[in-house]
Amino acid sequence: MTPRLSFSGCDYLGLAKHPSVLGALRKSVDPEITQGARVSISASRFTTGNHSLYRDLEHALSGFFGRPRAFLMPSGYTAVIAAIQGIAHGFSTILIDEGCHSSTIDALRFADSCRVPFRHLSVAAVQRIVKKSPPDSRVLLITDGLFGTTGDIAPIADYLNVCPRQAGC
């Protein structure tokens, strides 16, 4: 494996805006760069505070999606928690692939529904659980589309074929 260097991550020490760092960046990348802070915001709002780039991006996203506002979450972890909290209410049973990211598992701990894990990527397991559910139950299936640690891809089309129409699959 070829060794690699990473200069990304959180800017806990504030060096991303240090004049020496910005000067070296300008010299090595593009002498026309005059706003080094626009090269990188270094981390989330939660870590390093707000920046006009966040506001600009939210404005552009709201226009792109035709919505009055858009809001960037401070991290992927909190985005998953917010999304699941926004959609989980009203479902009586929530099916979750047992290989899902920990943020998804944590988010479902807050949901006021019956959480039922199923074997990783198992369409047959989903089908068995759905068949055992009461006819009037509302089922929500939550899975990662792409599992980051394994590279597995969820069989979404197959899940849709075994979930009832009123389900949130």
pLDDT tens column, 58-78:
999 999 999 999 998 888 888
At residue 128, the pLDDT reads: 95
Beta bridge partners of 80: none
| Whole-number pLDDT of residue 17 | 76
Top CATH class of 76-162 equals: alpha beta
pLDDT at residue 32, rounded to an integer:
57
Q: Is 120 exposed, middle or buried (0-12, 13-18, 19+ CB in 10 A)?
A: middle
Q: What is the pLDDT of residue 143?
A: 96
What is the pTM (predicted TM-score) of this model?
Answer: 0.65
In angstroms, rounded to a whole number, what is the distance separating the alpha carbons of residues 149 and 146? Answer: 9
Under 8 Å between Cβ of 103 and 144 = no
Least Cα distance to 167 among 137, 123, 131 occurs for 137
- The answer to whether 116 and 96 are in contact (CB under 8 A) is yes
Res 164: pLDDT: 79
What integer pLDDT is reported at residue 37 of this predicted model?
40
With contact defined as beta carbons under 8 Å apart, do 63 and 71 qualify? no
pLDDT of residue 117: 95
All CATH 3.40.640.10 domain ranges of the chain, comma separated, are: 76-162
Distance in angstroms (rounded) separating the CA atoms of residues 110 and 108: 5
What pLDDT is stored for residue 100 in this prediction?
Answer: 95
| List of the chain residues with pLDDT < 70 | 1-14, 29-44, 47-48, 166-169
